[in-house]
A and B are shown apart, each in its own frame.
Chain A
Amino acid sequence: MDNILSVLIFFPAIAGLLGFVVDKKSARAYGITVATIEFLLSLWLWFSFDTGNAGMQFVEMIPLIPDFGVNFYLGVDGISLFIILMTTLMTLIGMVSMSIEKDVKNMIITLLFLEMTMVGVFVALDAIVFYLFWELSLVPMLYIIGAWGGPLRVYAAVKFFLYTFMGSLVMLVGMLFVAYVYHSLTGVWSFAITDWYALVLPVNYQLWLFAAFFLGFAIKVPMFPFHTWLPYAHGQAPTIGSVILAAVLLKMGTYGFVRFSLPMFPDASVMMITPIAVLAIIMIIYTAMVAYAQKDMKQVIAYSSVSHMGIIMIGIFAMNAEGIGGSVFQMLSHGIVSGALFMLVGIIYDRRHTKLMSEFGGLASVMPKYAVIFGIMLMASVGLPLTIGFVGEFLVLLGFYEISPVMTVLAGTSIIIGAVYMLSVYKKSFFGPVTKEENKTLKDLTPRETWSLIPLVAIVVWLGVYPKPVLDPINKSVNAMLVFMEEKAITAEAKDIIKVPQSATTAGEVK
């Protein structure tokens, strides 16, 4: 299959269109089938991926607007490969676990379209294609929040849409400007990211462009102080919306930093380490404290998402293989764990129609299976070794220590305050006597809920104990990127700070 990437993008969308003719009752089974096939395709992508190759693979290029150098240009490397796998996995699992009864068919079709846009973002190597999928992904999510959300859904959906849309418009201006510079230097138009990588831009250009891209990515991440759309979106979104939002959509922002900002503007990135690290540390500490103050279980998870995204941000700007590799791994880990936590909150919401922790208490006595799985995800969330959460967090902190020990200590408080809010959730909801009459008769996990969570538990343990199959390809591509950034950097400061691992220089992976 030469054009596996196009298939991965368009299969769910085409299947989604065909879904209109499927009758209501079988819509769900249809959606799950399509998502399963899509997931198997992405697995196939992984198995045929050449782990010895650090560059782009499965490259496809179809000219769209040749005069302006816009091509349907796709490819994957070690960095994007696993994010794609996570996207297809979380869509599938989200669909299996979904408890929505209203307009199931519309929801399935929306999810399949959303899947197209998400996969598209992560495989696009052309800035225009990237931008198109990036913006398109807003629409299904807007619809999911607006149509299936809670009482404030319209406000939350519009806020989500306008906020992120505004940020990406600025990013679009940045993209057009890069293309213009490329044209004025080389005489040809190109929107191919790989062409743009070759551009060596003066530092002041880099800074302005970095700022333009930053706004687009930072709102998506969301970085402090642009994060306030997220609690509203999560608060109003149905469970499936929150799962996809936390697991995949947020990763677009951090992925953007790795794909665009770092390799295109290495000098500006190095100059921006401190300001971004400061924002990221505020994100980590401040939102963890806000999470602790929440009374609503879902809001705790929502704010904890922001806090963990701070760890990812700080790792990206560690400028060494440990930090960036750890960051990419942490994106996967956060996707799996926060996705699972949102699913778990959804499960109790379906039973009690409330997310307030004061309504719970003693759930461990009545729902032991639920408590065990929640406990495992909690431990992964606070970064317990041998769970998926530790690997990324450890590597990020280790990597950033080389940049600044003091800031690493501050960011490292995440392992303390993370435990504070998560354990407090667990204590309030699961421990103590069962005080509320309604809770005494709660049913433990149904088979469907159990079987949608078990794969996630398995991944949490598997990649915690043996992260090598995932970490190796990531590491390879990150090494190649660092070699390239170091060569391209023009300021002495950047050359000094960007650290190429010895293993990458001696093994001759320089491409």
Chain B
Amino acid sequence: MEGLVYIALFAPFASSLFAALFGMTERKIFVGIVASTLLATAFIASAMLAFYVHGTGNAVHVTMMDWISAGDLHIPFGFIVDQVSVTMMVVVTLVSTIVHIYSIGYMDHDKSFNRFFSYLSAFVFSMMILVMSDNFAGLFIGWEGVGVCSWLLIGFWYHKPDVSREENPSISPSWAANEAFIMNRIADLGMLIGLFILYWNIGSLQYDKVFAAVPFLDGTVLNAAALALFIGAMGKSAQFPLHTWLTDAMEGPTPVSALIHAATMVTAGVFLVIRANPLFSLTPEVSYFIAALGTFVAFFAASMALVNRDLKRIIAFSTLSQLGYMFAAAGLGAYWIALFHLAAHAFFKALLFLGAGNVMHAMHDELDIFKMGGLKKVMKWTYLYMGIASLALAGIPFFAGFFSKDAIIETAWNEGTIVLWAILVITAGMTAFYSFRQVFLTFEGDERYKKYGIHPHEMYGYVLVAMSPLAILAMVAGFGMKGFEHFVTKLLPDYHMSEHTHHIAWFLGLVVLAFAVGGIVLAYKKYYHGLKRDEQLENSWYYKLLANQYYIPVLYEEFIAKPYAMISNAMWTKVDMKIVDATVDGIAKFLYKTGDTSRKMQTGNLSNYLNWMAVGAVLLLVVAAISAAAIG
């Protein structure tokens, strides 16, 4: 089994190195094929490990070598494959393999084709370290590793110039990449502090030791550690107020958005909370905060998706919103439900993004859904895929999202947090509306793209075939829910609905369904038959508020970025040059001047010297008299 662990972990690394060898040469199709094969190998190894863990119920634990040891701190490169990590491994490698194959088609005209595969595989390697590590420091390696790969991939088309925010809300790929990296770093500091708290109170960063020790720790320590770790999770999973980077990250190539900014990396925060569930279940206040923030983000992000016109940004907002759902479940203690939604979401959201990628490929990188319409005639398969994904996202029976999202909403009811429940239900309605607004505006109605002289075409056949596993999973994954629960609750705490909730579950489900169907019907009425723009609505203040993301990016720029630059500049030109350095030079000048002045005493004239001697003698006498008086 150890061999399989290393194959699953290092096959993506090998793929990345292989592609890097050709990183500076022109497109070589075999680079994509080799990379995809290696990724498929990692997937097969992960799947075999999953069977093993499922069959035996045992975890596989390997320690490769020492990493850092100083003082009492010992951090090994250790990996654990248990029910939670193997779930993540299977999801990550499956989606990655599909995205790799997809990218062979999607990136076929890009001159940096080989470089792309190198980055993409490096990302998968980092993600595997993140989910497989048996300690918090190892998790942090993966955590930062995915951050760097995300930086590289968002800024993949680094040569594009900066433009104004009106022209492109993300300004430029390199700008968006830096924003993502820096925002994540803010959260990472929180995460590091969390590690320090755990280390100084427990003496280890190994999961098993930490989780064995947390029940004996003081409540304030636990709360501090849980909160600090959650701040880390907020960055990676783009929770408010660190959420703006995720939509800007859409500057990256679409396969990247599908893999990193929907299916895998952004769920790392949720994974952390699930992984550290022994800690979070001891801190009810922090957990409730997580649930409340998650619920808020679910609604907040969905509201911005309602009016957005950018194909990818709508999906990005929807990702944010679904991450909110996951945090709501994890915060309420339903860890396995959060993990289930994470997996289901990975499948249908990746599918949705890849579908959007097909549309972009067809539309020559046009993203404005107001300029699309009627694409179903030329892109039947893509329409079908995106339709399935949207149905799953909206939570229509018996697609994947129906099971997972319903369970989360039911949990909110079960915990008696009726406000959270109500918000999540309303959000479900909004989700259905914006998903189908997007689908209808893209594929139905009049062919608005003709005005712009675009001749769309369907994606290559092999790419469509590669996407099919995701489509199938988006349809059927929900039926595996019982088995999944049975599997992961060997490790995670089981979560059961109360008797009362159980009785009215059918009613609760019906309420959610009513909202979801209502959302779709509304979208159908407004957008199915084409785009009718409502000037009055679009000029209203609330529409503008939503379209501008509550003006939060502008606020960040005006009140954080610009003042920081201004203060930095003042520090340099005013403080460093004019105060600190000038003082040094001033002292030096003073010494020089006094030396220069006193030099004049040395005139060579004997009577002058005698005069000075007299002055000195008098001074000494005075000093002697004063000190004698003081002592006496």
- B166-214 residues with Cβ-Cβ distance < 8 A to A are 172, 174-175, 178, 181-182, 185-186, 188-189, 192-193, 195-197, 199-200
Query: Do residues B572 and A293 form an inter-chain contact, with CB atoms below 8 A?
Result: yes
User: Using an 8 Å CB-CB cutoff, how does the interface string of A179-223 with B read, 1 for contact, 0 for none?
Assistant: 000000000000000000000000000000000000000000000
Residues of B within 8 A of A293 (CB): 565, 568-569, 571-573
- In the bound complex, what is the Cα–Cα distance between A487 and B181 (angstroms)? 46
Given A290-B572, A401-B200, check contact A391 B72 (CB 8 Å): no
Residues of B within 8 A of A501 (CB): 71-72
Query: Do residues A225 and B193 form an inter-chain contact, with CB atoms below 8 A?
Result: no
Residues of A within 8 Å of B, CB-based: how many? Answer: 70
Apart from the given pairs A286-B571, A322-B70, A503-B71, 16 other A-B contacts in the complex at a CB distance below 8 Å: A224-B580, A225-B580, A289-B572, A321-B70, A321-B72, A326-B70, A385-B140, A385-B145, A401-B199, A409-B189, A409-B193, A419-B182, A420-B182, A420-B564, A427-B175, A466-B65
B601 within 8 A of A: no
A151 within 8 A of B: no
Query: Do residues B66 and A398 form an inter-chain contact, with CB atoms below 8 A?
Result: no
Given A225-B580, A293-B565, A503-B71, check contact A385 B144 (CB 8 Å): yes
Question: What is the CB-to-nearest-CB distance from B210 to chain A, in angstroms, rounded to a whole number?
Answer: 15
B615 within 8 A of A: no
B165 within 8 A of A: no
Residues of A within 8 A of B140 (CB): 385
Question: What is the CB-to-nearest-CB distance from B138 to chain A, in angstroms, rounded to a whole number?
Answer: 9
Query: Do residues A401 and B571 form an inter-chain contact, with CB atoms below 8 A?
Result: no
Residues of B within 8 A of A479 (CB): 71
Q: Which of A12-20, A81-89, A264-272, A428-436 contacts B (4 or more CB under 8 A)?
A: A428-436
A364 within 8 A of B: yes
- In the bound complex, what is the Cα–Cα distance between A412 and B584 (angstroms)? 29
User: Using an 8 Å CB-CB cutoff, how does the interface string of A221-265 with B read, 1 for contact, 0 for none?
Assistant: 000111111000000000000000000000000000000000000
User: Using an 8 Å CB-CB cutoff, how does the interface string of A377-392 with B read, 1 for contact, 0 for none?
Assistant: 0010010111000110
A48 within 8 A of B: no
Describe A's contact surface by its main secondary structure: helix
Query: Do residues B178 and A423 form an inter-chain contact, with CB atoms below 8 A?
Result: yes
Query: Do residues B192 and A415 form an inter-chain contact, with CB atoms below 8 A?
Result: yes
- A372-414 residues with Cβ-Cβ distance < 8 A to B are 372, 379, 382, 384-386, 390-391, 394-395, 397-399, 401-402, 405, 408-409, 412-413
A176 within 8 A of B: no
A73 within 8 A of B: no
Residues of A within 8 A of B148 (CB): 379, 384
A325 within 8 A of B: yes
B141 within 8 A of A: yes
Partner among A405, A432, A478 whose Cβ is within 8 Å of the Cβ of B162? A432
Name B162's closest neighbour in chain A (CB-CB).
Answer: A432
Residues of A within 8 A of B71 (CB): 320-322, 325, 399, 475, 479, 501, 503
Question: What is the CB-to-nearest-CB distance from B573 to chain A, in angstroms, rounded to a whole number?
Answer: 8
Name A421's closest neighbour in chain B (CB-CB).
Answer: B568
Residues of A within 8 A of B68 (CB): 391, 394-395, 467, 471
Question: What is the CB-to-nearest-CB distance from B467 to chain A, in angstroms, rounded to a whole number?
Answer: 32
Q: Which of B153-161, B277-285, B354-362 contacts A (4 or more CB under 8 A)?
A: B153-161
Residues of A within 8 A of B108 (CB): none
Interface size bracket, B side: 35 or more
- In the bound complex, what is the Cα–Cα distance between A293 and B160 (angstroms)? 24
Name A289's closest neighbour in chain B (CB-CB).
Answer: B568
Query: Do residues A398 and B174 form an inter-chain contact, with CB atoms below 8 A?
Result: no
Question: What is the CB-to-nearest-CB distance from A11 to chain B, in angstroms, rounded to a whole number?
Answer: 33
- In the bound complex, what is the Cα–Cα distance between A468 and B69 (angstroms)? 7
Query: Do residues A427 and B567 form an inter-chain contact, with CB atoms below 8 A?
Result: no
B576 within 8 A of A: yes
A selection of 7 A-B contacts at a CB cut-off of 8 Å is A228-B581, A322-B70, A384-B144, A385-B145, A401-B200, A412-B192, A419-B182
Name B588's closest neighbour in chain A (CB-CB).
Answer: A162
Partner among B172, B189, B567, B583 whose Cβ is within 8 Å of the Cβ of A412? B189
B419 within 8 A of A: no
A53 within 8 A of B: no
Residues of A within 8 A of B23 (CB): 372
Query: Do residues B174 and A432 form an inter-chain contact, with CB atoms below 8 A?
Result: yes
Of A286, A384, A431, A468, the most chain B CB neighbours within 10 A belong to: A431
Given A290-B568, A384-B148, A412-B193, check contact A402 B200 (CB 8 Å): yes
Q: Which 6 A-B pairs have the closest CB atoms?
A: A321-B71, A431-B174, A228-B581, A401-B196, A293-B568, A289-B568
Name B580's closest neighbour in chain A (CB-CB).
Answer: A225
Question: What is the CB-to-nearest-CB distance from A374 to chain B, in angstroms, rounded to a whole number?
Answer: 13
A424 within 8 A of B: yes
Of B23, B24, B68, B188, the most chain A CB neighbours within 10 A belong to: B68
Question: What is the CB-to-nearest-CB distance from B26 to chain A, in angstroms, rounded to a whole number?
Answer: 13
Given A293-B572, A384-B144, A416-B186, check contact A432 B158 (CB 8 Å): yes
- B546-601 residues with Cβ-Cβ distance < 8 A to A are 564-565, 567-569, 571-573, 575-576, 580-581, 583-584, 588
Residues of B within 8 A of A229 (CB): 584
Residues of A within 8 A of B189 (CB): 409, 412-413, 415-416
B618 within 8 A of A: no
- In the bound complex, what is the Cα–Cα distance between A162 and B192 (angstroms)? 41
User: Using an 8 Å CB-CB cutoff, how does the interface string of B96-138 with A read, 1 for contact, 0 for none?
Assistant: 0000000000000000000000000000000000000000010
A439 within 8 A of B: no
